[in-house]
Structure 1
Amino acid sequence: MVNEIKKIEDNVISTLGDIKRAVADFTNMFVDMRGNITDEMLKRGDEIERREESFKTLFEETRKTLTSDIEAEKQKLIHLQGKLEQPAIAFYVHHLKDLFPDTSDEILIFARTFTNEGTGYDTSTGLFTAPVGGLYQFDVHTCAYNGKYSYLGLVMEGDVIAADANYGDANHGCNNFGAIVRVRSGEQVWVKSTSSASNRQLY
């Protein structure tokens, strides 16, 4: 009986040892697994943070680009609105005050107006003053008296930008001349005589 009890005791001790070893192995495995899980979670957390930063950066760049584009479009609209609000400028004048331009540089004054939108043309001085800057077209139509000559120039701020020389035949020869020029606000344009002599006369 003692021997049997001893065998049982040895078996129990051996089994307990196996259980302890199994528990230890399981504990170690659990610790390793937990460590791996923790490392994986940390890695995933870092990846999520990196992606979040990348998204924030991309969002901020996109926001700045959109803001800049919107501002640029806004400025374009403001510019277009300013253009639409500009008044129409046009004048159509006739009937010269002086048909005998006997001095060079004498300004020809057209006394009557059909149209003077923007009130740029002054019938007392013969000067057109641009109310707003822009691209302007000027056309001049004059006739020389029968047997007489005319030498005229279209002038902008003192510079002749178009000129005309004409002789009046039996039908009072007529000519057209003009120019398309960019004029700044406040600049002046006029028609003048470019030559003086006793045989100069307009019709």
Structure 2
Amino acid sequence: MKMRFSLLFVFVIFVGIYSYNFSEAREPVCSKFSYEEQLLEKMIRTEIKVETMVNENKKTEDNVISTLGDIKQTVSYFTDMFADMRENITDDMLKRGDELERREDSFKKLFEETKSNLTSDIAAKKEELIQLQEKLAQPPVAFYAHHLKDMFLDTTDEILIFGKTFTNEGTGYDTSTGLFTAPVGGLYKFDVHICTIHNKYAYLGLVLDGNVIALHAHYGDASHGCGSVGAIIRVRSGEKVWVKATTYHSSYQLHQDSLRMNTFSGVLVNY
């Protein structure tokens, strides 16, 4: 700045001297004193002009510096503002990102639980369907036997053997032994129908693997009479069911003819 001022001052002095010499060439010179007085006056005026120009330049420079300062402050303000905005936006984006990650983890966990539950349910339903298919594939089980081989109940725990069958689905009943062997496990219904000769007694029991599950007592008074007993019970595969005399005596006797029939039947009602 000082260098510019010095150059400007020299330029102004040079212009003043040149102007003075030019004017001096046209103006008459009265005396040496007058010449010096005029030269001094011109130098003073030139100095005042130079000082005025310097002051104006100084004001201009101050204005420029002030304007630059304002611009710098403005730029700084907007820079800080944008930095704050960027920081806020970044924080908000991070928060949103964390929230999205938490939701994603929660969704994945829920999806895995639902998938696991569905897989278990599907496996259970599949097993049920397989069991149902197996049951449907199994043949029906039912028997209906008749025609007693022995009418006298004179032996301890004598098994009543019905020697013929009308129905024997599943071949569970054996006409040679009087035993029914369950080919499949399930819920069965059994019925026993017996007839006694007149004035004779009959005491019978329906037996499941050695355990009496139903009892029947009948007396044929003045004529031949008939009676029935039955039970609904769950039987496991391979278990046996039969009819036996619970007590015995020489007077205990059954009867059958064209009007009366002794029967033993059973049917699988549900697996």
TM range (shorter): over 0.9
Q: Which moved more, 1:158-167 or 1:104-113?
A: 158-167
Q: Within 5 Å, which residues of 2 pair with 1:1-203?
A: 1-203=53-255
Query: d(CA) in 2 for partners of 1:142 and 1:46?
Result: 84
Q: Deviations over 1:163-202 (max 9, x none)?
A: 2222223431111112111111111111112222221211
Q: Which moved more, 1:86-95 or 1:20-29?
A: 20-29
The residue type paired with residue 143 of structure 1 is C
The two structures have a TM-score, normalised by structure 2, of 0.70
Query: d(CA) in 2 for partners of 1:26 and 1:42?
Result: 24
Partner of 2:8: none
How far did 1:106 drift? 1.0
Q: Deviations over 1:31-58 (max 9, x none)?
A: 2222222222212211211111111112
Query: d(CA) in 1 for partners of 2:225 and 2:211?
Result: 26
| Conserved? CA contact 2:153–2:250, under 8 Å | no
The CA RMSD over aligned residues, in Å, is 1.6
How many percent identity over aligned positions?
72
| Conserved? CA contact 2:199–2:223, under 8 Å | no
How far did 1:121 drift? 0.7
Q: 1:103 to 1:5 in 2, by over 3 A?
A: same
The two structures have a TM-score, normalised by structure 1, of 0.92
The residue type paired with residue 238 of structure 2 is G
Q: Deviations over 1:109-129 (max 9, x none)?
A: 111111111111101111111
The residue type paired with residue 189 of structure 1 is V
* Partner-residue secondary structure (3-state), 2:72: helix
Q: Where do 4+ consecutive residues of structure 1 move more than 3 Å? A: none
Q: Deviations over 1:84-142 (max 9, x none)?
A: 22321111111111111211211111111111111111011111111111111111111
Point out where structure 2 has 5 or more consecutive residues left out of the alignment: 1-52, 256-271
Query: d(CA) in 2 for partners of 1:184 and 1:6?
Result: 119
The alignment of Structure 1 onto Structure 2 pairs a total of residues equal to: 203
Q: Name the larger-Rg structure.
A: 2
Query: d(CA) in 2 for partners of 1:37 and 1:140?
Result: 90
Point out where structure 1 has 5 or more consecutive residues left out of the alignment: none
The residue type paired with residue 99 of structure 1 is M
